[in-house]
Homo-oligomer: A and B are copies of this chain.
Amino acid sequence: MRIAIDAMGGDNAPFEIVKGVNIAAEREKDTEIILIGDEKQIADCFSQLGVTQPQNVTTIHTDVVVTMEDDPMVVMKEKNNCSMAIGLKLLKDGGTDAFISAGSTGALHAASTLIVRKIKGIRRSAIASIMPFDRPILLLDSGANPTVTEDILNQWAIVGSAYVSEVLGVENPKVGLLNNGTEEHKGTPTMQAAHQLLKENKYINFVGNVESREIPNSPCDVLITDGFTGNIALKLAEGMGTFMFSTLKSLFTTNVKTKLSYLLVKDQLKGLKKLFSSSSYGGAPLLGLSKPVIKAHGSCTADNISSAVTQAISYSKSNIIEKVSQSVQ
C-alpha cells in the first residue's frame, strides 16, 4: 500500500502534515507514505519534531505550490509540477493507491477530475463531508457542484452509500434527500425529480426527504444535496458549533462560581466537543473518481492527517469503485 500526501497544502503545512505522517507511519508499518513538497522544509519539520524520517516515509521534491488565490481551472496548466498535480499524476499512473491534500478544494476537485478522471458513467464527482453528532452523516455534495440535475443527485446516492457501507461499515445505509419539507412535492423542481429517481433506485435504501432541523438527530447515513446547499449546511453546522463553544467558554469564565462549575463538568464537556467534531473521520473523500482522493480540512492538524491516512488505506482496500462502476453501467 502506498499513500501520497501533499505536504504543502492547507493553513498548517508543512509542519502539521509532516507531524501527522510521522504518527501514521509509526502505526501503519506496512504502508509507504510519500510526502510531496519542499524537501528542505520537510526535513526541517522532522528535525523540529526531534525524530528521524521513518523508513516507510519517502519524499518527492517540488517547490511549486497551489495557493488559495490560484484559479482552480487554470492552476493545472500553469502549475503542472506543483505538489497537488504531482500527487494526482502519481495516483493516475498507479504509482500510489490514494492521494491526500489539504490544499484548495476547488483546485483539488478540478485537477482530480482532469487527471484522475471519474468512474465511467459517473457524471460529476462530489466532495463528501462528515457531519458528526450522535451518528455520522455523509453529506454530498458539500461544495464542488453548485448546480446539479436529478440524475447527478441520484448517482451520488449510489457512491455515498458505497462509501458509507465499505469505509464506515454501515450495513444497508439510509439515504436521505435534503429538502425543505418531508412531503414528496417539496423543494425545487430538481429536488422533486430527484425524489422520484431515488425512490426507484434499487441500489440504495432511500428513506425520503430530510429536513435540516433533523440533521443533528442523524435521520440517515447519507444525505444527498447540491453543492450549494450542502456547503451552506456544512458550514452553518460548523459555525454553530464554534459559536456555541466560544459562548460556553465565556459563560464558564464569568466568575468564581462559574469557574468552579466548569471544573465539575470538564470531562463531560470534552465528550460534548467530540460530538461536534468530524476530525476523527479523516478528510472528505472526492467520490465518483476512479481512484481514492481525500480532501483534508484546510486547517487540519496532525491528528486529522493521521486519521486521513487510515481512511485512505481503508478506502483503497475497499470495493467502492468496482461497486459503483457496476451500479451505474
Contact = CB atoms under 8 A, between A and B. Distances in A.
Interface residues of A, number: 52
Contacts of A235: 180, 211-213
Interface string A201-229: 00000000001111111000000000111
A231 interface: yes
Main secondary structure of the interface of A (DSSP, over half): helix
Interface stretch (A21-29, A90-98, A243-251, A287-295): A243-251
Contacts of A264: 257-258, 260-261, 264
Contacts of A271: 251
Given A188-B146, A247-B275, A233 B258 contact: no
B272 A243 contact: no
A237 interface: yes
A46 interface: no
A126 B189 CA distance: 19
Nearest to A180: B231
Contact of A143 (B180, B229, B239, B243): B180
Closest 7 CB pairs of A and B: A216-B243, A261-B264, A213-B239, A212-B236, A180-B231, A213-B235, A261-B265
